[in-house]
Structure 1
Amino acid sequence: MKIFESIINHKINTITAEELVKYANQFNITVSQQQAKKIAEYLRGKNINIFNDTERSQLIKQIAKSAGPDTAREVNKLLIQFTKQ
């Protein structure tokens, strides 16, 4: 299972705004292109483990500061979907 976690974390840490919007649409989560760009810029190179509740929580707090609490909630829903796969 660790290999899948590594692959998903790598994808999250290298995600582009376009990919983020695409994944959000797949899960019926609303994220604008502008919000996705901010989030992708923040994620790039951070090496965050979204399977770790503490790290994911800190990430969501940072996203809330830059993109707003509503967007952070939506992104959290998306990340949780990724961890369920």
Structure 2
Amino acid sequence: MKIFENIINHKINTITTDELLNYAAQFEIAISRSQASKIATYLRGSNVNIFDNAQRTAIIKEIAKISGPDTAREVNKLFLKFTS
């Protein structure tokens, strides 16, 4: 399972604005291009592990600051789908 974790974390740590917008549309998460750009920029520079609860919580808090709590909750749901 570790290899899948590495693949998922790598994708999140290298995500682009357009990729994030595509995932948002696929999973029905409302997000603007501006928000997606800010979130993607944050994620690309973070080298995060979404399988670590503390790191995922910190990421979600930052996303809430960028795009609001509703979007952060939806992104958290998406992360939980990836990690389950």
Same fold (TM over 0.5): yes
Root-mean-square deviation over aligned CA pairs = 1.1
Moved over 3 A (4+): none
Between the aligned residues of both structures, percent identity stands at 65
SS in 2 for 1:39: helix
Match of 1:72 in 2: 72
Letter matched to residue 66 of structure 2: S
TM-score by length of 2: 0.91
Deviation track 1:4-30 (CA, whole Å, cap 9, x = no partner) reads 000000000000111011112112222
Aligned to 2:47: 47
User: How many matched pairs?
Assistant: 84
Query: What are structure 1's unaligned runs of at least 5 residues?
Result: none
2: CA distance, partners of 1:33 / 1:75: 15
TM-score (norm 1): 0.90
Deviations 1:23-74 (A, max 9, x none): 1211222222111111001011311000111110011011111221122112
1:37 match: 37
Structure 1 match to 2:17: 17
